[in-house]
Amino acid sequence: MDIKALITFQTIIKQGSFQGAAEELNYVQSTVTSQIQKLELDLGVKLFERGRKLRLTEAGRILTKQAAYILNDIDSLRKTISDFTEGETGNLRIGSMEPTASLRLPNVLNDYCNDHKKVQINLEIGNSTTIRERILSGQLDLGICTSPDIEMGLDFTPLFVEKIGLLLPVDHKLVMKNDIKAKDLQGERLILTGRNCAYRRKLEKLLLEKGNHVMPIVQSGSIEVVKKLVEKGLGIGIIPEVSHEFTSTTVLKSINDFELDVTIGLLKRKDESPSRAMQNLINAITISLKRSDCMVM
């Protein structure tokens, strides 16, 4: 069905004649006639009684009611598409690892959503492995996590370095040691995040390179749980420095003979161009997370 023909049909009803519709639409009258004939052919019915006076058939009266709904829906669709093209609407699916999701993203998302009130954001929390897999499968559009393996074929843009520290109970013997080394962790009770956590995997790799085998007493997918268990004196935890809160029960220290920090960045598929709304969000995240206090060196 030709949308222009529907508009012409409505204009005929409003003006009361083919000639009036032609004048309003800036058509010659033959164009109006041709469009109505084509519309009748498409619908398989006559819309007007043929005669000196303009009269609708029963089918024409039915179309009069429905044409308004159809054209209103088309106008709404055009507005929706226009808003999408301009970045004012969209449904953005992003995944982020902690603590970025809870400590860095809220301010960014608050500002973004205030400026883009029609955009919907679905934020998933997960480890880097899960985020990469969900981006590859098309279940997420954007990830904030550690870098992928080259063979995965994903596009990674570094944002900042997440500094990792050693969380100790305040009465632990290593608190007073200024130069903590990997060997000092041998035999200690370690409280670590889950096996797929980037922080834990890097720690295990570096300790094994130095001949230390890691056997955690407790492992948890939650950094907050790790912190609470250290507060209780159960053992030593490895956490991002940004997630540490100064308390009377724990102390954050560094391991001095290897680099435990990890690079965090934006991850997306190489074969997909982001929508305008997504690009605006990427720009907002990049500006916020590439501040001088978390800049990649």
Q: Are residues 30 and 61 in the same domain?
A: yes
The strand pairing partners of 262, in sequence order, are: 162
**Of 254, 262, 260, 259, whose CA–CA distance to 184 is shortest?**
254
Q: What is the pLDDT of residues 88-106, one digit of tens each?
A: 778 899 999 999 999 999 9
Tokens at residue 18, please? 């083919």
Which of these three, 85, 105, 130, is where a domain ends?
85
Q: Are residues 287 and 235 in the same domain?
A: no
Q: Which CATH number characterizes residue 99's domain?
A: 3.40.190.10
Instruction: Out of 51, 66, 85, pick the residue that ends a domain.
Output: 85
pLDDT tens readout for residues 169-222: 999 998 888 888 888 888 888 888 877 778 788 877 877 776 766 666 777 778
Residue 55 and residue 20 share a domain? yes
What pLDDT is attached to residue 292? 44
Query: 3-state class of 180 per DSSP?
Result: coil
Same domain, 72 and 26: yes
Q: Which of 85, 110, 126 is the last residue of a domain?
A: 85
Query: The pTM is what?
Result: 0.68
3-state secondary structure (DSSP) of residue 41: helix
Question: Residues 270, 152: one domain?
Answer: yes
Question: Is residue 21 a contact partner of residue 15, using CB atoms and an 8 Å limit?
Answer: yes
Mean pLDDT of the chain: 85
Domain that holds residue 105: 89-161+263-294
